[in-house]
Amino acid sequence: MAIIDQGHAARQLIYEKVFRSATLCAAILVLLILGGVGASLVHGAWPALHRFGTGFVTREIWNPVTQQFGALGPMYGTIVTSLIAMLLAVPTGFGIALFLTELCPPWLKRPIGIAIELLAAVPSIIFGIWGLFVLAPILQSQTQPWLIAHVGAVPVIGSLFRGPPFGIGILTAGVVLAIMVLPFIAATMRDVFDTVPAMLKESGYGLGATTWEVIWHIVVPHSRVGMVGGVMLGLGRALGETMAVTFVIGNAHRISASLLAPGSTIASAIANEFTEADGDLYTSSLIALGLLLFLITFTVIALAQAMLRRLERQSGGRL
Amino acid sequence: MMPSSKIPKHLKLRPPVPVAQGTAESGAGPAKIEIRSLNFYYGEVRALSDISMTIADRAITAFIGPSGCGKSTLLRVLNRMYALYPHQRAEGEVRIGGEDILSATVDVADLRYRIGMVFQRPTPFPMTVFENVAFGLRLHAVARGAELHHRVEAALREAALWDEVKDMLNKDGRSLSGGQQQRLCIARTIAVNPDVLLLDEPTAALDPISTLRIEETLQALREKFCIVIVTHNLQQAARVSHVTGFMYMGELVEMGLSSAIFTTPKDRRTDDYITGRFG
């Protein structure tokens, strides 16, 4: 009897070791992949970075004929289109999530929830052709002339809305991106609001708070960390989105003061030009663009983490 | 509160529901809450059947009974918390200080402001200790500046928490210990000076020492408030309450002075429950 038990125990020990090594390998694999991506990007980008130095990120010029490449235009486009998307999608997603969790009549909850998930499942190419053939003409004929006429005259922010209405451009790309990241932001925030304990909300109501006061003073502060997570998820997607943006941004390597003008993002520039990139320096410059996108995304995540840690310290580590 | 002249005549003429015998001798105040023929439904399920009782002011009234007997539901009727959820409804008459709180014309937010509630688990708000206690006062703009500080400190003292938190008023309320959090919730509730204090198993999630401190706090508060406590802990009911009601399957089986309920219960079911034969 004792011998059988020993054999069993020994087998268990082996299983334990095998299992441990297998999970360790899986974890290390992630590090290897990440390291590999980083290393091959740096390797591929090296000729361009070596040639242009810091000028690669500070110069706007992008001229394949003279072999002069600077990434400032696409970097600007990437950041500005993502900011526009966030500006539009975060408040909307926040409103959707609040409505679904706190105000929505039960029979409407499921249809709206399913609609949001379906919106997230639409392939980006669909948003691209829709943006080009449907949204851009509407913006060109309706929205942009209105913006030029009414907001264009305002000092300071007016310069963002001047020039001819192209239809396609930075603003259009931002709007399409906003629609694309909206379901992610709304769904994440809804899930976060759903985790607020009923008892906590009832405590607020118990002190005579109205629905709005409970939402604003209790639900939202309680969900801060998760909300930041949702915004970062959307931002990460907006920064890297390629196909739809390539359709509607106009693909011009320059920085215009006006949001109505065409521009480019890092991802759209790479997608657009990789097939026609002749010469090592051109190819290398495109890879260097990819490296920059990698770094921008990495920075965003790092900032988000720092922000979360700060929030956590404020609340005494109990979130 | 509704002046007595506004109470419809036919209600005035009804004979009062008998108050548990002997409450007057225990130093309790006059009847604060009067319940007549209260029925409560979760959808089709009846959770309270024909409950009638009076609850005295300036006394601690405890409700005991097995899980699902309706004692927590009773509390949720008293501040209309059930009204947050569709398909939950109460029928009958519940008067607090003479006002029929089940009436459709009652301002529910105002009612809940006057009927404070403390829950089974501590529910500190995601804000500082000070802001937690100031929450209700700010909502209803009853105090500002120095007056606000004064009321917050007074409430924390009454909840026997001031000495422990006076140097950390700006720390997050959630960073306190469990027992401190629950006393914070009591302080937050009494800061707005409610007419009635409802406690739904307030020590269920706490260790014995924290429980003891909360019970001491309640003893000190009884002089000012009408306190209603629901508890699973029979010793606690016997220790802190003047009057105890035993509920079973949605009915109020027996209600009387705690000393009598725990020594000479009249109903067989009460006897079975307090001697541990079921529940």
pTM: 0.79
Sign of CA pseudo-dihedral B24, B155, B183, B119: positive
- Rounded CA-CA distance A226/A295 in Å is 24
The pLDDT of residue B173 is above 60: yes
Of B264, B270, B229, B227, the closest CA to residue B247 belongs to B270
Q: Return the ∠ at Cα A303 (arms to A300 and A306), rounded to 5°.
A: 150
Of B177, B134, B176, B136, the closest CA to residue B154 belongs to B134
DSSP state of A200: H
The pLDDT of residue B212 is above 50: yes
- Rounded CA-CA distance B224/B159 in Å is 13
B78: closest chain A residue by CA: A206
Q: Is B84 on the interface with A (CB under 8 A)?
A: yes
pLDDT of residue B9: 47
- Stretch (H or E) spanning A186: helix A170-194
Q: How far is CA A90 from the centre of its chain?
A: 11
- Rounded CA-CA distance B32/B8 in Å is 18
pLDDT band at B14 (very low <50, low <70, confident <90, very high): very low
Given A197, A205, A218, which is nearest B81 (Cβ)? A205
pLDDT in tens, B123-166: 999 999 999 999 999 988 877 888 899 999 999 998 889 999 99
Q: Cβ separation of B123 and A199 shorter than 8 Å? A: yes
* Helix runs in B45-175, H state only: 71-78, 108-114, 129-139, 145-158, 162-165
Q: Give the best residue of B108, B111, B172 to mutate against chain A (max A CB count within 10 A).
A: B172
Q: Is B219 on the interface with A (CB under 8 A)?
A: no
Given A205, A217, A315, which is nearest B84 (Cβ)? A205
B194: closest chain A residue by CA: A207
Total residues belonging to chain B:
279
Q: Indicate the fold that domain A55-314 takes in CATH.
A: MetI-like fold (1.10.3720)
pLDDT of residue A295: 92
| β-pairing verdict for B88-96 and B31-42 | antiparallel
The pLDDT of residue B4 is above 50: no
The interface predicted TM-score (ipTM) is 0.83
Q: Identity (one letter) of the amino acid at B241?
A: S
pLDDT band at A315 (very low <50, low <70, confident <90, very high): low
DSSP state of B19: P
Q: Where are the domains of chain A?
A: 55-314
Q: Cβ separation of B116 and A206 shorter than 8 Å? A: yes
- Stretch (H or E) spanning B51: strand B45-56
Output the furthest CA–CA distance in chain B (Å, rounded).
56
Among A80-84, A139-143, B257-261, B274-278, which is the least confidently predicted range? B274-278
pLDDT of residue B16: 42
Min Cα–Cα distance to chain A from B43, Å: 15
Residue B143's φ and ψ, nearest 5 degrees, are -150, 150
Q: What percent of chain B is modeled with pLDDT above 70?
A: 89
Half-sphere exposure of B57 (CA within 13 A, CB side): 12
> Within 10 A of B105 (CB to CB), how many other CB atoms are there?
5
pLDDT in tens, A191-221: 999 889 999 999 999 999 999 999 999 999 9
pLDDT band at B5 (very low <50, low <70, confident <90, very high): very low
Q: Give the best residue of B125, B128, B168, B182 to mutate against chain A (max A CB count within 10 A).
A: B125
A197: closest chain B residue by CA: B123
Q: Give the best residue of A101, A196, A203, A311 to mutate against chain B (max B CB count within 10 A).
A: A203
Region B216-222: mean pLDDT is: 88
Q: Is B109 on the interface with A (CB under 8 A)?
A: yes
The pLDDT of residue B13 is above 60: no
Given A199, A209, A316, which is nearest B171 (Cβ)? A316
Region A113-120: mean pLDDT is: 92
Q: Cβ separation of A315 and B123 shorter than 8 Å? A: no
Question: What is the per-residue burial (b if ≥16 Cβ within 10 Å, else e) of A162-190?
Answer: bbebbbbbbbbbbbbbbbbbbbbbbbbbb
Q: Chain-wide mean pLDDT for chain A? A: 89
Sign of CA pseudo-dihedral B99, B101, B104, B110: positive
B176: closest chain A residue by CA: A316
Q: Identity (one letter) of the amino acid at B66?
A: P
Residues 205-234 of A with CB under 8 A from B: 205-210, 213, 217-218, 221-222, 224
Tell me the chain A residues in contact with residue B86 when contact means C-beta distances shorter than 8 Å: 106
> Within 10 A of B278 (CB to CB), how many other CB atoms are there?
9
Residue recorded with tokens 């409950």: B51
- Rounded CA-CA distance B101/B80 in Å is 8
Of B242, B248, B240, B249, the closest CA to residue B274 belongs to B248
Tell me the chain B residues in contact with residue A104 when contact means C-beta distances shorter than 8 Å: none
User: What SS3 class is residue B265?
Assistant: coil
Q: What percent of chain A is modeled with pLDDT above 90?
A: 59
pLDDT in tens, A236-292: 889 989 999 999 998 888 888 888 899 999 999 999 998 888 888 999 999 999 999
Residue B220, both tokens: 């000190």
**Over the Cα atoms of chain A, what is R_g?**
25
pLDDT of residue A214: 93
- Rounded CA-CA distance B136/B124 in Å is 13
B140: closest chain A residue by CA: A208
Tell me the chain A residues in contact with residue B140 when contact means C-beta distances shorter than 8 Å: 208
Quickly list DSSP for A45-64. HHHHHHHHTTHHHH---EET
pLDDT in tens, A5-19: 778 888 889 999 999
Tell me the chain B residues in contact with residue A210 when contact means C-beta distances shorter than 8 Å: 109
DSSP state of A207: T
Q: Is A23 on the interface with B (CB under 8 A)?
A: no
pLDDT band at B26 (very low <50, low <70, confident <90, very high): low
Q: Cβ separation of A217 and B117 shorter than 8 Å? A: no
Tell me the chain A residues in contact with residue B185 when contact means C-beta distances shorter than 8 Å: 203
Question: Which residues is B245 bridged to in the sheet?
Answer: B63, B255
